[in-house]
Amino acid sequence: MRYLSTRGGIAPVRFKDAVMMGLADDGGLLLPESIPAFSAAELESWRTLTYPQLAFKIISRFVDDIPATDLQALIDRSYATFSHPEVTPVVQKDGVYILELFHGVTLAFKDVALQFLGNLFEYILHERHERLTIVGATSGDTGSAAIHGVRGKAGISIFILHPHGKTSPVQALQMTSVLDENVHNIAVDGTFDDCQDIVKGLMGDLEFKQKYSLGAVNSINWARVLAQVVYYIYAWLRVAEQGRKVVFSVPTGNFGDIFAGYMAQQMGLPVEKLLLATNENNILTRFINQGDYSVGTVVQTLSPSMDIQVASNFERYLFYLFKQDAARVSAAFAQLKAEGKISFSQQELQQVRQDFRSASVDRQATLETIRQFKHDTGYLLDPHTAVGVRAAQELVTDDTPVVCLATAHPAKFGEAVVEATGDAVPVPPAIAQLEGLPTRCVRMQADAGQVRAFIILTVG
């Protein structure tokens, strides 16, 4: 399996090189040259597999440069850190299925991909006798999951930028309380998009990138999307009978999670529709419903991990929407840079509406949904998950089974849950033990030069 760039400007690379490259050297995103398909019969034969066994079946189709026993061992190690024996269990509540993706070390779905990516990096670096400097931007969850994925790992330094004061207190603590020498937290005075711009700028500087062996962990890394494909298939196997289509409702920020659902569907999973749920940062909803892809400004919401305007993984979807025409993708992003928007043909917009439906859920509706769901079922939704549940309530009116992706544990965003329900959220041990821990973090302006200087000084 070889990987190509959405912008068409690199020679094809194999899986391990795709993982190490992160962002493609031409500024595009990496995708497999073809999507491996599975048959309905194969899908049926996977019903009794454990999560790590299923993960191997899926992931190995995209990886042909790691021996099977090594790959299975990497996968086993990654999912052994989860606190639930099923890794990503599905529970049924009040007619909807909740796919619980928050049983990893940082209590958010990003652990599913980042435990795997951390082990993968370590494996490849050891084999190649190389070092890696990971630079990433986070609106909260990616950073903590990435840090926990690579803390203490040989050959890796990690620098994580987060918008100062714009993550939840628990998210900040989960990052800054990790004191391993290879972990560096940077609090930026600005928004998540500012952080992401700085990281993209550093990654786009090829000389710097090569000199310091920069790698990415944010959702532009192909291995992350790949790891996330697995739980769509796992969930389908838990809730659907043979051939039955299901709807997935996905609280969306950077488009990584829902793009993994799109890949699962392209591989052959019976998916009726992918619901793209947004908060007030609703550029993707405007795009799907009105064809308007114009960038606004980021507003702070109850679901900070979705406070994003420019969703980086959206480019991967555009590559398929544009029928794998890399020149058209490049032109679209040139237009975005020049005019702050991308224009689409009527035919393209029709295709978009076949692939997705979308709803934007505001603060009040999010709180109402948390309150009502608890009242009806006794189950606590975190505000991100609530956005997806609400979108499903608005968009699905027939009896197609609906799987809502629960992307974070409610205790991680306890303030919103208290505001909605009036009751304190029981604190799980993973959070209780953060209380009072010493922390380490440096604060900087939204200035790529400062960040670059800090990296040079630290890595040497």
Ligand X SMILES: *Cc1c(COP(=O)(O)O)cnc(C)c1O
Is residue 369 at the binding interface for ligand X, with CB under 6 A as the rule?
no
When the beta carbons of 122 and 136 are compared against ligand X, the nearer one is 136
When the beta carbons of 252 and 369 are compared against ligand X, the nearer one is 252
Report in angstroms how near the CB of residue 406 gets to ligand X at its nearest: 9
Q: Which of residues 421-460 bind ligand X (CB under 6 A)?
A: none
Could you tell me which stretch among 29-37, 249-257, 280-288, 359-367 binds ligand X (CB under 6 A)? Answer: 249-257
Is residue 225 at the binding interface for ligand X, with CB under 6 A as the rule?
no
Among 16, 103, 110, 273, binds ligand X (CB under 6 A): 110
Report in angstroms how near the CB of residue 125 gets to ligand X at its nearest: 25
Among 236, 255, 262, 373, binds ligand X (CB under 6 A): 255
When the beta carbons of 265 and 330 are compared against ligand X, the nearer one is 265
Report in angstroms how near the CB of residue 45 gets to ligand X at its nearest: 29
Report in angstroms how near the CB of residue 76 gets to ligand X at its nearest: 24
Is residue 219 at the binding interface for ligand X, with CB under 6 A as the rule?
yes
Among 100, 111, 141, 194, binds ligand X (CB under 6 A): 141
3-state secondary structure the chain: CEEEECCCCCCCEEHHHHHHHCCCCCCCCEEECCCCCCCHHHHHHCCCCCHHHHHHHHHHHHCCCCCHHHHHHHHHHHHCCCCCCCCCCEEEECCEEEEECCCCCCCECHHHHHHHHHHHHHHHHHHHCCCEEEEEECCCHHHHHHHHHHCCCCCEEEEEEEECCCCCHHHHHHHHCCCCCCEEEEEEECCHHHHHHHHHHHHHCHHHHHHCCEECCCCCCHHHHHHHHHHHHHHHHHHCCCCCCEEEEEECCCCHHHHHHHHHHHHCCCEEEEEEEECCCCHHHHHHHHCCEECCCCCCCCCHHHCCCCCCCHHHHHHHHCCCCHHHHHHHHHHHHHHCEECCCHHHHHHHHHHEEEEECCHHHHHHHHHHHHHHHCCCCCHHHHHHHHHHHHHCCCCCCEEEEECECHHHHHHHHHHHHCCCCCCCHHHHCCCCCCCCCEEEECCHHHHHHHHHHHHC
When the beta carbons of 182 and 312 are compared against ligand X, the nearer one is 312
- Give 258's contacts (C-beta < 8 A, 6+ positions apart): 248, 250, 252, 274, 276, 356
Q: Which of 110, 166, 200, 374 is an active site residue?
A: 110
Length of the chain (residues)? 460
Q: Is 110 a catalytic residue?
A: yes
Q: How far apart are CA 248 and CA 245, in angstroms?
A: 10
Q: Which of residues 402-421 bind ligand X (CB under 6 A)?
A: 407-408
CB atoms within 10 A of CB 207: 7
Report in angstroms how near the CB of residue 190 gets to ligand X at its nearest: 19
Could you tell me which stretch among 124-132, 200-208, 253-261, 264-272 binds ligand X (CB under 6 A)? Answer: 253-261
Report in angstroms how near the CB of residue 6 gets to ligand X at its nearest: 17
Report in angstroms how near the CB of residue 144 gets to ligand X at its nearest: 9
When the beta carbons of 110 and 162 are compared against ligand X, the nearer one is 110
51-to-4, 62, 109 alpha-carbon distances in Å: 29, 17, 15
Place of tokens 């997705």: 356
Is residue 306 at the binding interface for ligand X, with CB under 6 A as the rule?
yes
Q: How far apart are CA 390 and CA 304, in angstroms?
A: 17
Among 5, 88, 252, 360, binds ligand X (CB under 6 A): 252
Among 115, 305, 372, 393, binds ligand X (CB under 6 A): 305
Q: Are 312 and 220 in contact (CB under 8 A)?
A: yes
Report in angstroms how near the CB of residue 182 gets to ligand X at its nearest: 23
Is residue 254 at the binding interface for ligand X, with CB under 6 A as the rule?
yes
When the beta carbons of 265 and 407 are compared against ligand X, the nearer one is 407
When the beta carbons of 252 and 421 are compared against ligand X, the nearer one is 252
Is residue 256 at the binding interface for ligand X, with CB under 6 A as the rule?
yes
Could you tell me which stretch among 71-79, 236-244, 245-253, 429-437 binds ligand X (CB under 6 A)? Answer: 245-253
Q: Per-residue string for binding with ligand X, 153-192, x by CB under 6 A? A: ----------------------------------------
Among 59, 71, 99, 108, binds ligand X (CB under 6 A): 108
Q: Which residues bind ligand X (CB under 6 A)?
A: 108, 110, 141, 219, 251-257, 305-306, 384, 407-408
Catalytic (active-site) positions: 110
